[in-house]
Amino acid sequence: MKFFVDTADVKEIQDLAATGLLDGVTTNPSLIAKSGRPILDVIKEICAIVDGPVSAEVTATEHKAMLEEGRKLAKLAKNVCVKVPLTVDGLKTCKVLSSDGIPVNVTLCFSAAQALLAAKAGATFISPFVGRLDDIGQDGMELIADICQIYENYAALKTEVLVASVRHPVHVVAAAKMGAHVATLPPNVLKQMFNHPLTDKGLAAFLADWAKTGQSIL
């Protein structure tokens, strides 16, 4: 399973990339707004830090303008993945960009029917939002299971399932069990995945016993 980080905070991305565990980055207009910086600068900087796909989202809602924005974003770096919303115009744009060889992440997916349309439009990634479904009392992970099953049924569909709106490590593990290709994680969730109290306790005990020996490896 690939791990992307869901942030436009360049410093945070630098720190996480240093772990060697980062396969890509996703941003959205809210995250760019939170960074308080110009989108083109932020995306260019992120693309220089991470080798994998960096999703940059269009903000136009009409096909022609979306296409123009998407092409401009794609020119920023070779690893830009243009993000479009799951609307009729978004999928029309996805179809054209992907036919031109530009990778596309179709975002704001909340149903299996939408995911099927995105795959037919040639999306590189489909982003179903699990946390936002959980928030309204629907089971977000059920949607992931449905999409994984549908995509597996058709070898011709090459779209990868990118689990988005992840709220905690339990979402990540459940998605991995279902065979989802990617999870995009808020930085705090990625950090939480390292932690277990028994790891801390075990390490403290090992180090205490080691100190008693007076030995040194180096």
**Is residue 190 part of the contact set for ligand E4P (CB under 6 A)?**
no
- Nearest in space to 73 (alpha carbons), one of 57, 50, 89, 85: 57
Contacts of 191 (CB under 8 A, 6+ apart): none
DSSP state of 111: S
DSSP states of 127-171: EEBHHHHHHTTS-HHHHHHHHHHHHHH-TT--PEEEEBS--SHHH
**Is residue 165 part of the contact set for ligand E4P (CB under 6 A)?**
yes
If the CB atoms of residues 132 and 181 are measured against ligand E4P, the closer one turns out to be: 132
**Is residue 107 part of the contact set for ligand E4P (CB under 6 A)?**
yes
Catalytic residue among 72, 75, 83, 95: 83
Nearest approach, Cβ of residue 209 and ligand E4P (Å): 43
Among 58, 80, 164, 180, binds ligand E4P (CB under 6 A): 164
- Helix (H) or strand (E) run with residue 191 in it: helix 187-192
Among 13, 28, 151, 182, binds ligand E4P (CB under 6 A): 28
Active site residue 83: yes
The residues binding ligand E4P (CB under 6 A) are 6, 26, 28, 107, 127, 129, 131-132, 164-165, 184
